[in-house]
Structure 1
Amino acid sequence: LLEMDYGRTESYRVATQVILPVAQQDVNVGKEPNLVNLDRMAKDGDAKPVEAVNAHQSSAQQQPKMEKSRGRGRKPHTLENLKKEVEMDEHHIPLSELYRRLGTDPELGLTDEQAREILIRDGPNALTPPKKVPEWVKFARNLFGGFAMLLWIGAILCFIAYGVELATSDAVITDNVYLGTVLAVVVIVTGCFQYYQEAKSSKIMESFKDMVPHYALVVRGGQKKNVRTEELVIGDIVEMRGGDRVPADIRIIAAQSFKVDNSSLTGESEPQSRSAECTNVENPLETKNLAFFSTNAVEGTARGIVVNIGDHTLMGRIAHLASGLETGQTPIAQEITRFIHLITGVAVFLGVTFFIIAFILGYQWLDAVIFLIGIIVANVPEGLLATVTVCLTLTAKRMASKNCLVKNLEAVETLGSTSTICSDKTGTLTQNRMTVAHMWYDDNIVEADTSEHQSNKATFASSSTFDALTHIAALCNKAEFKPGQEDVPIVKRECTGDASESALLKCMEITVGDVAGWRKRFKKVCEIPFNSTNKYQVSIHEYSGDPEHAYLLVMKGAPERIFERCSTIACHGQDYEIDAEWTNKFQQSYLQLGGLGERVLGFCDMLLPVSKFPHGFEFSGDDQNFPLDGLRFVGLISMIDPPRAAVPDAVSKCRSAGIKVIMVTGDHPITAQAIARSVGIISEGSETVEDIALRLGIAKKDVDPSQARAIVVHGSDLKDMNSDQLDIILANHPEIVFARTSPQQKLIIVEGCQRQGAIVAVTGDGVNDSPALKKADIGVAMGISGSDVSKQAADMILLDDNFASIVTGVEEGRLIFDNLKKSIAYTLTSNIPEISPFLLFILADIPLPLGTVTILCIDLGTDLWPAISLAYEEAESDIMKRKPRDPKRDKLVNERLISLAYGMIGMIQAAAGFFAYFVIMGENGFLPNRLLGLREQWDSKAVNDLEDSYGQQWTHANRKVLEYTCHTAFFVSIVIVQWADLIISKTRRNSLVQQGMSNWTLNAGLIFETALAAFLCYCPGLDKGLRMYGLRFAWWFPALPFSILIFVYDEARKAIIRRNPDGWVSKETYY
């Protein structure tokens, strides 16, 4: 267990890492600045570069020929190929074989001629952009898709009818021109708006291009030169230093304190050291001798050979995987598409059926065409798509105020449908900053304050041992606060230095204060920096504590390396010889802290006697002219990236809401499991297979995996699984952690969840997350720590990087789905009173009760604000206590909603409209029995003496004024019954008394639609374009009893549903 090196400051990897004999190398600093000469041991057939150079010099200009076996025709990757793990051997084969294979020389590099030939063969070192759909095609899809085609047909028929009438009649009515123009404008405006929304979607490849460096320092023909990155070829010898961006996938030949920031690829925030040593044959992502395209060199220098370029680099694979994935429609888009198909089918069926009936009944074809237009316009809810878009936009704005920035509007509802969340760990579940968690000194483990504000200063009991420990942590530390942050809380100050040293600096500043003052007082005179071979850091400081000692040596590093260099241990003011008992105590404490997933460092010191090290002594870090053994062990300090305070509650809410939270991280399994338990992803009392085996005292292989509620899956195990095995894990374990995962594995996990029928949300911040973000039903990127690529691939961005914000988004998404249902129910109800006048116009041969332009006044005028106002309605119950909706059963528009809107409420509304129509006609002399069969005479311009029921004669012009007045009255009646429809749409189950009328946007909508209806009735001039005529005040009231009936009927229906939730009424009418 002690071989599990939790103390390593650059990563957790050593817990599962075996140092392999393959390609082991000793690195020595060369004479030239920033260069490293490599003296390789001749192991397993490895040749020394020195010999290769000598061989090259003896053969003058002769260059080795490149092997053809490599087969680098550079065929483009298929998507399935990209999903597989990276397979390569360039990192572990002997360097001599690699030089021979690539036809290069470690000192002189390729010749210019060779480089040109390879460039022609392989192409430039650049990411190939995917094929794009032309913009005009995208625009055309939006202009002619969905409802648009129906409305285009209606508009074209209007213009055809007007043209025919213009050619055959002297007195042409311009109604058809008005209607055709309005329909065309509606389609064009809607199409442009949808195209604009689509144009704002992900441009992933552009963000990848921003990560590519422009120039690289390359050795060609023995000469160093800067070349454009695109001209870099396989086999080139490249030199890099801190601050550079790695220009290709490169195997390190030699390195000096070289570190790279791989966070964009692996998610690990701490810089990773790189050397010529191969440390992982199986997994190229884990080895130290590869540097990957577009990662950043943080410090040091390195020399390497290019092994992959462009699309074939790890970054290129991720880029093409992310941009090439088919994401499919969002759940809300599928629902709307289904709804469009349904309405289109109904419109076409009714239109064609009654068009044929009209012909059979002897109507002129022009009259039948006008009737067909009316059926189409009445069936299509022209304002519905605009209503849905505005409702989603309003919700997106509300979410933005809660730190959820929505890029794709449809993602608002998708998040509400989410049944599985695959969350990254670092920065999402955790605070994304290393923090001191525990200290072990005076034979006691003390817990530190890891809260996000760290207000607790009195955590540690002061003692001489504690003082010594804090001295070492403050002095043996290169981290510093950036200037100008005096007013910033210590925890939030920015530091120069790695994450572990920054955590120690902040902890020391909080607990004992003025670290900078200490460092001035104890001036540093010598230092040995940390390296992956020694695994310790040493510094020597001037000391004035007593006259017998002039200098203080302090050391920190991997605990077992520090402990083995010590002969005594400090405890309660005394130093004790380290014996078996102290060794056992050390091991127990170390394992306890390491088992918590914390990064552990050991600390020791030594006062150097003035007799051997007088004032002014010249210490040398290279010669090490000072003792590094026989030191005094002082204690351990462990650090962890602690969970955010709000995360456990957020995970608990997800569990209550039926949402499965899966952790998918590149971090070590022990750390991942510790964080998962602390935030509740693995709940208290849940056991893994390992826990059960330990409890029962049996081998892990003897445990039935189905007995374990929780499971931690290592990336190396996942690599060997097929899709069926992954499906079993996802189906049988409610609590899952995936650790040490690669970008391809994150994608495979998402696809596995989707195979289970889950709506998957994925969180991530690195480039490595972009394929999974793109493939997920909704990708959620981090706004603070997220890379540009992850933000482009995602549908939503968390502005505060906090997992708890996702839960807020889920709640908003569920609410908007409920409210969209209500909005659609409200909008669809008026379709029946809009369609029925045209049906009676044909079947009963009566004068037309409602005009097509008037229908547009309802759909695009009076109904819009009220429909949108339902987006502001509060939830009827705790929507986070119910299971996620099943997309296959719980549809946005289901048969129950249709039957309620069309078959019940819609019929009452139609009755209200016809009642007002017959009242006005009757008051003007045309009783209902007189109207039947009157249409042909009514519409004939030649008939100017048509008698009513009382014998009065009506001219054609007078009849049309009366008809248009009836249109207006029918329109007003629909508005009045829509009052009740809007109020009942506030709830699907609750009574209005329970819900209340606190939605002031809706209340204003009631006033708005009434005011607009009055304006359209009485505004001078609208009788010309819209055919709206002023009504007597009394004619506003015939529809009022029907409005009251709708309200009473629906309240009774909901009361029955509440009393008998499983009854017939609920099953048939609860939508």
Structure 2
Amino acid sequence: MKYGRTESYRVATQVILPVAQQDVNVGKEPNLVDLNRMTKDGDAKPVEAINAHQSSAQQQPKMEKSRGRGRKPHTIENLKKEVEMDEHHIPLSELYRRLGTDPELGLSDEQARQILLRDGPNSLTPPKKVPEWVKFARNLFGGFAMLLWIGAILCFIAYGVELATSDDVINDNVYLGTVLAVVVIVTGCFQYYQEAKSSKIMESFKDMVPHYALVVRGGQKKNVRTEELVIGDIVEMRGGDRVPADIRIIAAQSFKVDNSSLTGESEPQSRSAECTNIENPLETKNLAFFSTNAVEGTARGIVVNIGDHTLMGRIAHLASGLETGQTPIAREITRFIHLITGVAVFLGVTFFIIAFILGYQWLDAVIFLIGIIVANVPEGLLATVTVCLTLTAKRMASKNCLVKNLEAVETLGSTSTICSDKTGTLTQNRMTVAHMWYDDAIVEADTSEHQSNKATFGSSSTFDALTHIAALCNKAEFKPGQEDVPIIKRECTGDASESALLKCMEITVGDVAGWRKKFKKVCEIPFNSTNKYQVSIHEYSGDPDHAYLLVMKGAPERIFERCSTIACRGQDYEIDAEWTNKFQQSYLQLGGLGERVLGFCDMLLPVSKFPHGFEFSGDDQNFPLDGLRFVGLISMIDPPRAAVPDAVSKCRSAGIKVIMVTGDHPITAQAIARSVGIISEGSETVEDIALRLGIAKKDVDPSQARAIVVHGSDLKDMNSDQLDIILANHPEIVFARTSPQQKLIIVEGCQRQGAIVAVTGDGVNDSPALKKADIGVAMGISGSDVSKQAADMILLDDNFASIVTGVEEGRLIFDNLKKSIAYTLTSNIPEISPFLMFILADIPLPLGTVTILCIDLGTDLVISIMCWPAISLAYEEAESDIMKRKPRDPKRDKLVNERLISLAYGMIGMIQAAAGFFAYFVIMGENGFLPNRLFGLREQWDSRAVNDLEDSYGQQWTHANRKVLEYTCHTAFFVSIVIVQWADLIISKTRRNSLVQQGMSNWTLNAGLIFETALAAFLCYCPGLDKGLRMYGLRFAWWFPALPFSILIFVYDEARKAIIRRNPDGWVSKETYY
């Protein structure tokens, strides 16, 4: 800790609550403000006004509504609505009468049995699942698979017809049909394997359900299975239990529950029989919700909701029943499949018809149809996409990002809006001492994640007294066996605030346990929501005139009003208007930072009135609770993670909008948002503008405010158009006090704006939004099982900053998929063009259908430990501008756009086709068939009856010899494509950068080049392949005709990229930058 006014202190003075600020004037006795009770506008209410408001609220007319008890099916629209119930505010006598129960005797066993038959068990109904066979069938017959199945069936039909009508049958069609069928089956099984992990959201909810509950039935207490709890049961709970249903509290003793997984509030919430909020059941203190944890105290209550009708049940069905839609990458791939399928079918049918018109036999026309389809379909593309995503997911796992849904990898890179939870995501999810006010000065504490340095303080008796009170008036203790664990990371018993004080005192002054032994506790009044203070009395040996020390902590305004003096720099001063104003000013400044503030006071009890051995009574309160000495304030906050501000800054530079969505208080949310940069320095809210101009908030034009803090109660009254206006007009937004349904509505609002939405969260309350978002990101350490199951990605280190890594990886995989597809598609032109020339120019077939499969499945896919050349592009490093671009527009920046098609088909593909035909004509020419002799020769060439066909030099060729030459040309055409694919693969490494800038450090790609060449050589020279694949050995010289074309591709593309870099807005960039 250190002295002095800090930067956060300076910021606090600029965001002070305006109403309270105006009331505080020197010399004037201000109303004491309870910062824990704020209006929805963020203004503090005087305690008297709050009490009056509560009294009037309790006198409001009762709201009646009918309620179905059976298991009726929920609709998603109903689930999205706010929780509507009146069980929390109607008189208990009416509730007992409505539910047919007795507060002392409970239900009878027969009543419970009848209600159980009527309503069903207290459990969550699992959602319907898609049968596994349906999933498998989708993978086996979806996408490109149907085209290939049609091709395989046509092959077998053609073989059957040929078998029935001809004595001399060639098995090519059988080979081709079998290969196509095998390709489809293997690819389908691979896809199914990747998608085999079905959703387990409901199972994770079940894990949160307690097994037994203590119930009063027929006047007897008994443990019953939670599934057998029914509406109207009287239940008893204590600290350490999980709440077994939605329960209205009848009576409570210091009962607190941890609602952080539901509401996002770090601090345990006290529960009592008092209804404190009629309109919002989530905010009232007399309801405890299913599956939340009881932290301390005891309570007795009546079950008002079970199973699917509980708040947890609504969230469960909201999360599991949402239509998540396709991910952006899935939509892109679907679009690409439709595009390629349309092209393949159109070309196939067109040339099938042309073949008929030109007089070809129908069997030959069918072969053309199959060839065109096979040539157009990139058989390995879907497998390439899947493996690329898998490789990237593995790489991200090494960076603490666990990817559950493969497609989520790319989605994160497309993200334009991040809706982030506060507690545990942006913050550390632990209360920490942030500031102290004593000796009329505010001192800042170390709130870093390690707090390894002990702060030094000057000699101050006030500070000593403050630390004594914080250590003694505190029930928190360290759990045993943690001596080697850093203090800040030790687990404690007790609530979050007391644990924060304990750790701070242990770090600052040390040996709190020793202090407590020295100053033995003799009496205690626990904290409760009525008194709002905690008192303990301890033996005291430091002064013979005083035998006992009374210490007190609690709500600052309650503590301060019980004090008559204040300690400052070794002296005690009477509290007057000036000291009251100083206290109020400091209290407001700390509260304006969104911190939870506690006041501390003490009193030495004189030995004359309280001698040694005096029996103190907490119930009778036979000791003074007024006229105490005020010592100081300590404020606590769940501090932001150290790496978050930089991560938010990087998101902003990458064009990503970060929105905070939290269930916490608006003041706390705004303070954290400012500290991490979600609300940037200098940005004003409507309240800030009103304060600066000295006008009412309603007179401010909302469009003038760059930032806005929206309260959940305001959001509840908005329609979708009003929410859309806020999302569109304010770049910096904080939503506070939001319910799970509202978080979902916010996500849907962002999606209506056309944003790709990522949602981060760790609580149960985040799970519907996580599921609905384009990508849900859960926290691995602090996250609930429910949020992890609903999410697509899990941050194993709970670090928001890891999202920036994920965004970069996501953008990289989209870039690399573009490159991989561009590489894969270029071979389509040299595969299609031989069929076109075969039909239109009537030349012998330059490239066979089976050989095309060798290209697609051999050079694009390598069945080996080595990665495929197309897949090796997934290992390519990012280009330099990847995090400086705006998020891609899903409507304009497609995975496959017209520029990519133009480059792949119209430019690079044409050069590759030219290389193949050049090699074809070279080999034909060397064997006697010059180009002019080949045109129009097809019919004689393929005729078995012609065994004396003359070439350009008068040599005669038999049918068998001609076919050997033709298959040799197929092999040469295939090898030529492999050679030009070398250059294609190398130029695909970048979209903008020069190869000189990018380098050749991708050794997976380098190995892919070598393997591609080795595979081509194997297919050429392996004995026996001339029978099945019609691949014949080539002379060594026949490998080189395509080499100049490979060099041309490289030079052409380097020149194109140089022009793009020099003139990013020029014609070349607009027409060829894909």
User: TM-score scaled to structure 1, two decimals?
Assistant: 0.92
User: Per-residue deviation at 1:950?
Assistant: 2.2
User: Per-residue deviation at 1:23?
Assistant: 30
Q: Using the alignment, how far apart are the partners of 1:709 and 1:48 within structure 2?
A: 27
Alignment CA distance shift 1:39-1:358 (3 Å):
closer
Q: Is the 8 A contact 1:265 1:766 kept in 2?
A: yes
Q: Is the 8 A contact 1:418 1:884 kept in 2?
A: yes
Q: Using the alignment, how far apart are the partners of 1:373 and 1:302 within structure 2?
A: 75
**1:22 is paired with a residue of what secondary structure?**
helix
Q: Is the 8 A contact 1:47 1:96 kept in 2?
A: no
Cα deviation code 1:122-158 (max 9, x no counterpart): 2322222222222211211111111010011111112
Cα deviation code 1:830-869 (max 9, x no counterpart): 1100111111122222222112222222222222322112
User: Per-residue deviation at 1:601?
Assistant: 0.9
**Larger CA deviation: 213-222 vs 760-769:** 213-222
Alignment CA distance shift 1:442-1:701 (3 Å):
same
Q: Using the alignment, how far apart are the partners of 1:66 and 1:140 within structure 2?
A: 53
User: Per-residue deviation at 1:612?
Assistant: 2.8
Q: 2:772 aligned with 1:769, yes or no? A: no
Alignment CA distance shift 1:309-1:1014 (3 Å):
same
**Larger CA deviation: 552-561 vs 697-706:** 552-561
User: Per-residue deviation at 1:121?
Assistant: 2.8
Alignment CA distance shift 1:677-1:942 (3 Å):
same
Alignment CA distance shift 1:1022-1:80 (3 Å):
same
Alignment CA distance shift 1:786-1:672 (3 Å):
same
Q: Is the 8 A contact 1:27 1:37 kept in 2?
A: no
Alignment CA distance shift 1:276-1:33 (3 Å):
farther
**Larger CA deviation: 825-834 vs 870-879:** 870-879
Alignment CA distance shift 1:29-1:222 (3 Å):
farther
User: Per-residue deviation at 1:6?
Assistant: 23
Q: Is the 8 A contact 1:399 1:809 kept in 2?
A: yes
Cα deviation code 1:557-608 (max 9, x no counterpart): 1111111222221111112222222111111111111111111111112222
Q: Is the 8 A contact 2:545 2:606 kept in 1?
A: yes
Q: Is the 8 A contact 2:3 2:442 kept in 1?
A: no
Q: Is the 8 A contact 2:210 2:226 kept in 1?
A: yes
Q: Is the 8 A contact 2:34 2:555 kept in 1?
A: no
Alignment CA distance shift 1:19-1:28 (3 Å):
closer
**2:1030 is paired with a residue of what secondary structure?**
coil
Cα deviation code 1:651-671 (max 9, x no counterpart): 111111111110000000000
User: Per-residue deviation at 1:53?
Assistant: 34
Q: Using the alignment, how far apart are the partners of 1:32 and 1:236 within structure 2?
A: 50
Q: Is the 8 A contact 2:876 2:989 kept in 1?
A: yes
Q: What's the counterpart of residue 311 of structure 1?
A: 308
Q: Using the alignment, how far apart are the partners of 1:675 and 1:19 within structure 2?
A: 15
Q: Using the alignment, how far apart are the partners of 1:790 and 1:610 within structure 2?
A: 57
Cα deviation code 1:303-336 (max 9, x no counterpart): 2212112211111111111111111111110000
User: Per-residue deviation at 1:525?
Assistant: 2.4
Alignment CA distance shift 1:459-1:657 (3 Å):
farther
**1:69 is paired with a residue of what secondary structure?**
coil
Q: Using the alignment, how far apart are the partners of 2:41 and 2:793 within structure 1?
A: 51
**Larger CA deviation: 249-258 vs 6-15:** 6-15
**1:712 is paired with a residue of what secondary structure?**
strand
**1:616 is paired with a residue of what secondary structure?**
coil
User: Per-residue deviation at 1:934?
Assistant: 2.4
Q: Using the alignment, how far apart are the partners of 1:6 and 1:325 within structure 2?
A: 52
Alignment CA distance shift 1:627-1:11 (3 Å):
farther
Alignment CA distance shift 1:678-1:142 (3 Å):
same
**Larger CA deviation: 29-38 vs 12-21:** 29-38
Q: What's the counterpart of residue 393 of structure 2?
A: 396
User: Per-residue deviation at 1:953?
Assistant: 2.7
Alignment CA distance shift 1:33-1:997 (3 Å):
closer
Q: Using the alignment, how far apart are the partners of 1:252 and 1:6 within structure 2?
A: 45
User: Per-residue deviation at 1:48?
Assistant: 32
**Larger CA deviation: 423-432 vs 367-376:** 367-376
Paired residues, what number?
A: 1068
Q: Is the 8 A contact 1:67 1:100 kept in 2?
A: no
Cα deviation code 1:773-797 (max 9, x no counterpart): 1111111111111111111111111
Q: Is the 8 A contact 2:396 2:809 kept in 1?
A: yes
Q: Using the alignment, how far apart are the partners of 2:265 and 2:76 within structure 1?
A: 26
Q: Using the alignment, how far apart are the partners of 2:1016 and 2:690 within structure 1?
A: 74
Which runs of 5 or more structure 2 residues have no equivalent in the other structure? Answer: 862-867
**Larger CA deviation: 955-964 vs 751-760:** 955-964
User: Per-residue deviation at 1:64?
Assistant: 24
Alignment CA distance shift 1:53-1:635 (3 Å):
closer
Q: Is the 8 A contact 1:10 1:270 kept in 2?
A: no
Alignment CA distance shift 1:75-1:45 (3 Å):
farther
Q: Is the 8 A contact 2:17 2:42 kept in 1?
A: no
Cα deviation code 1:486-540 (max 9, x no counterpart): 2222222222221111111111121112222222222222222211112112222
Cα deviation code 1:187-218 (max 9, x no counterpart): 11221222222222432122122222333332
Cα deviation code 1:965-1024 (max 9, x no counterpart): 111111110011011111211222222223222222222222221122122222223223
Q: Is the 8 A contact 1:102 1:234 kept in 2?
A: yes
Q: Is the 8 A contact 1:238 1:305 kept in 2?
A: yes
Q: After the TM superposition, which residues 68-217 of structure 1 pair with which residues of structure 2 at under 5 Å, given as runs?
A: 70-72=67-69, 75-217=72-214
User: Per-residue deviation at 1:72?
Assistant: 4.1
Q: Using the alignment, how far apart are the partners of 1:165 and 1:618 within structure 2?
A: 110
**2:254 is paired with a residue of what secondary structure?**
strand
Q: Using the alignment, how far apart are the partners of 2:1065 and 2:723 within structure 1?
A: 37
Q: Using the alignment, how far apart are the partners of 2:40 and 2:237 within structure 1?
A: 27
Indicate which of 1046, 1050, 1055 corresponds to 2:1053.
Answer: 1050
Cα deviation code 1:362-421 (max 9, x no counterpart): 222222112211111110011111111111112111211111111111111111111111
Q: Using the alignment, how far apart are the partners of 2:428 and 2:940 within structure 1?
A: 80
Q: Using the alignment, how far apart are the partners of 1:455 and 1:170 within structure 2?
A: 89
**Larger CA deviation: 623-632 vs 809-818:** 623-632
User: TM-score scaled to structure 2, two decimals?
Assistant: 0.92
Alignment CA distance shift 1:784-1:61 (3 Å):
closer
Q: 2:682 aligned with 1:685, yes or no? A: yes
Q: Using the alignment, how far apart are the partners of 2:13 and 2:209 within structure 1?
A: 33
Q: Is the 8 A contact 1:91 1:281 kept in 2?
A: yes
Q: Is the 8 A contact 2:2 2:445 kept in 1?
A: no
Q: Is the 8 A contact 1:5 1:14 kept in 2?
A: no
Q: Using the alignment, how far apart are the partners of 1:1010 and 1:43 within structure 2?
A: 70
Q: Using the alignment, how far apart are the partners of 1:282 and 1:68 within structure 2?
A: 14
Alignment CA distance shift 1:196-1:6 (3 Å):
farther
Indicate which of 503, 526, 530 corresponds to 1:529.
Answer: 526
Q: Is the 8 A contact 2:214 2:237 kept in 1?
A: yes
Alignment CA distance shift 1:268-1:5 (3 Å):
farther
Alignment CA distance shift 1:163-1:7 (3 Å):
farther
Cα deviation code 1:95-125 (max 9, x no counterpart): 1111122222222222333333333332322
Q: Is the 8 A contact 1:11 1:272 kept in 2?
A: no
Q: Using the alignment, how far apart are the partners of 1:263 and 1:926 within structure 2?
A: 82
**Larger CA deviation: 795-804 vs 992-1001:** 992-1001
Alignment CA distance shift 1:618-1:863 (3 Å):
same
Alignment CA distance shift 1:888-1:56 (3 Å):
closer
**Larger CA deviation: 884-893 vs 838-847:** 838-847
Alignment CA distance shift 1:317-1:28 (3 Å):
farther
**1:552 is paired with a residue of what secondary structure?**
strand
Alignment CA distance shift 1:106-1:634 (3 Å):
same
Q: Using the alignment, how far apart are the partners of 2:648 and 2:36 within structure 1?
A: 53
Cα deviation code 1:719-762 (max 9, x no counterpart): 11111111111111111100000000000101111111111111
**Larger CA deviation: 171-180 vs 966-975:** 171-180
Alignment CA distance shift 1:62-1:637 (3 Å):
closer
